[in-house]
Structure 1
Amino acid sequence: MTDNNPPHGGHEVPPSAPSGDAEPTPQWWEAPTTSDSSGSSGADPTMVRVPGQFDAYTPPPQPYAPPQQPYPAPQPYTPPQQQYAAPQQPYAQPQYTQPAPPPPGPPSYPQAPVYGAGYPGTPPRRRSNTGWIVGGIAALVLVVALIGGLVVAAKSIGGDSESWTGDYAMAKVTDSCSLVTPSVLTRWAPTQKELTHTEDQPDSDYGGGSLNCDAKYEGASINSASLTMDADFASKYGSPHYNIWKDIDTGTTGTGRSFGALGGLGQEAYFAYREDTSTSFNSLNYTIGVLDSNLSLQVEISIYSKTSIDRSAVAAATEAQARQVMAGLRK
């Protein structure tokens, strides 16, 4: 029995067409082989005949068509607004006549109540002046005690008159050189060239005062001699000048220098000299310092000579002048 189904099997041969001029009728799975003028096949594009297999459907390619409406541009995110729900009863803003001062301390501590302000309905407290009176009396007592302490301290360091007055005074002296004998220098230089003196009077409140005399003599060639006298009186404040002179005169050592204590002259005395015989001339500076009661005294004789100098004669002359000054200033 013959039907119109395709043959099964890839190598089956379809039945031959009947003889004669009549063309065999094409089956439905066979595509015509004719072509149109454009060169495309006349077969159904949706049908592809594969020998030995079932025909598979291949959809035709579709051209890409862009979307008719483009995507909208992204918009910035806006957070949703939250509506504030007002309280049912509005808060009443208090009225102030003036701004309150900031609290005097860390905010974590409560502010101390204002003294005397009290609570509402409490009458203000009245301030008492008793504290001010007591404080004023205490301050006055303190000032009086301080002044008394200063007075006592001043007396302890020599504030009273007995501590700076003594056995010597310069009230009667108008010429300091009258206390010495400048002509003693003629032994080494005969001609007087200079004689000066100064007198610094003491203060009525703290004492003090000083006397000074300078005498210079010259001789032949380079021979010369000089005498210097300084007398200083104790004052209410400060140490005696004797201490300063002694530190200077006995604090330096070297060739031709010597010093030592000198007894029998006041409370304390020293001598010091500097002698030079290494050059073409000779020189000698001899000094005596004396501390006695309220008097500091220094006498110095200096000699320059082409010939040798008798140091013992200069020492004796210097000590004699010191004793003469002490006698002239004693009360």
Structure 2
Amino acid sequence: MYGNQGQFHGGQQPPHGYAPGPYQQPPYGAPYGPPPSGYPPPHGPQPNKYRALVIAAIVLVVVLGAVAVRAVATSNSDSPDRSNRPIATAPPPFSTVSPVTTIPKPWQGAYSVALVTDPCALLDPSVMARWSRTPKQAPQGEKEDALPSLGGGELQCNMSFEAEHTPGAVIVPPSLRITVNFAESCCDSAFYFTNRSESSVRVYGLDGGSHGPVEGLGEQAYFVTSKDLPGAPHYVTHELFVRDSNVFVKISAVVSSDTPFTNADLESAFHRQVRQILDQLRT
């Protein structure tokens, strides 16, 4: 209809009131400039308005922060002075240490292995005087102490003597052996008494020997004597078992003589030996 410079084609005249404006179409690819005067501004908020809102928000935050700081300062100034008050300390932690308790030790009793240093101090050679007055060698002993948490303990002593008999006779030299056991966590004195005495009966008491309970020695006592060999010399093995409280005592003696001897001779000698042992071990 019309071309450049506001000229109309075909010799047409511009409409009434038309005045050519200064606007010229920019070359191809050139950026557009500001819109010509007379056109309305583009729609939507402008960048200046966004900047104003951000600045207003920042100012508001600063003002509110200042108000809060002043309020806290005022509150602290109105609070009472606690600088002189003692600082509260946390209570001590709950103690996990258990109260000291005494662990029961059922193996303890009226006797103690700790009272004896030399086991052979318990052995009295004079009890063998009926069969021999001459020790053949020094006694040999062993001691086993008790364990604090288990109890127990053991004493042993063995002594040999010269044989006193008619020259030319074949005879077994006399000997005396004592064994003392103390009760422990697994075994009381009754355990030792029963096992040792029953074993002795099976060895010496069933083949013509004699055995039975004994009165007046500890809580329980038993003897076993082997069969006397016929003829001379006379020879027997005599064993005595005694238990009392937490202790067990065994005496084993081999005795021989050209002349006969009786059970009363054995009882007189070895009952005395047991009483001496118990007296030395009693607490």
Which interval holds the TM-score relative to the shorter structure? 0.5 to 0.7
Can you list the C-alpha shifts for 1:139-195, whole angstroms capped at 9, x where unaligned?
xxxxxxxxxxxxxxxxxxxx9533111110011211112112113223312321131
How many pairs align? 173
- RMSD, matched Cα: 2.1
Can you list the C-alpha shifts for 1:251-276, whole angstroms capped at 9, x where unaligned?
35444311111122111111111132
More helix by share: 2
SS in 2 for 1:328: helix
Go from structure 1 to structure 2 and tell me whether the alpha carbon gap of 1:284 and 1:174 turns closer, same or farther (over 3 Å shift): same
Output the amino acid matched with 2:107: W
Give TM-score, length-normalised by structure 2.
0.56
Structure 2 residue 111 is the aligned partner of structure 1 residue 168: yes
Structure 2 residue 149 is the aligned partner of structure 1 residue 215: no
Q: What are the equivalent positions in structure 2 for 1:202-241 lying under 5 Å apart?
A: 202-220=146-164, 221=167, 222=171, 224-239=173-188, 240-241=191-192
Output the amino acid matched with 2:161: Y
Output the amino acid matched with 2:132: A
Partner residue in 1 for 2:120 = 177
Aligned partners of 1:219, 1:261: CA distance in 2, in Å? Answer: 30
Go from structure 1 to structure 2 and tell me whether the alpha carbon gap of 1:256 and 1:160 turns closer, same or farther (over 3 Å shift): farther
Partner residue in 2 for 1:267 = 219
SS in 2 for 1:303: strand
Structure 2 residue 144 is the aligned partner of structure 1 residue 193: no
- Indicate if the aligned counterparts of 1:223 and 1:305 stay in contact, CA closer than 8 A: no
Aligned partners of 1:263, 1:310: CA distance in 2, in Å? Answer: 18
Aligned partners of 1:232, 1:313: CA distance in 2, in Å? Answer: 26
Output the amino acid matched with 1:317: A
Aligned partners of 1:287, 1:276: CA distance in 2, in Å? Answer: 14
Partner residue in 1 for 2:75 = none
- % same residue: 28
Which has the higher Rg, Structure 1 or Structure 2? 1
Aligned partners of 2:202, 2:215: CA distance in 1, in Å? Answer: 20
Please list every run of 5 or more consecutive structure 1 residues that lacks an aligned counterpart in the other structure: 1-158
After superposing on structure 2, the runs of 4+ consecutive aligned residues of structure 1 that deviate more than 6 Å are none
Output the amino acid matched with 1:230: T
Aligned partners of 1:213, 1:199: CA distance in 2, in Å? Answer: 9
Aligned partners of 1:161, 1:301: CA distance in 2, in Å? Answer: 37
Give TM-score, length-normalised by structure 1.
0.49
Please list every run of 5 or more consecutive structure 2 residues that lacks an aligned counterpart in the other structure: 1-101
Aligned partners of 1:202, 1:315: CA distance in 2, in Å? Answer: 31
Aligned partners of 2:147, 2:177: CA distance in 1, in Å? Answer: 24
Structure 2 residue 243 is the aligned partner of structure 1 residue 243: no
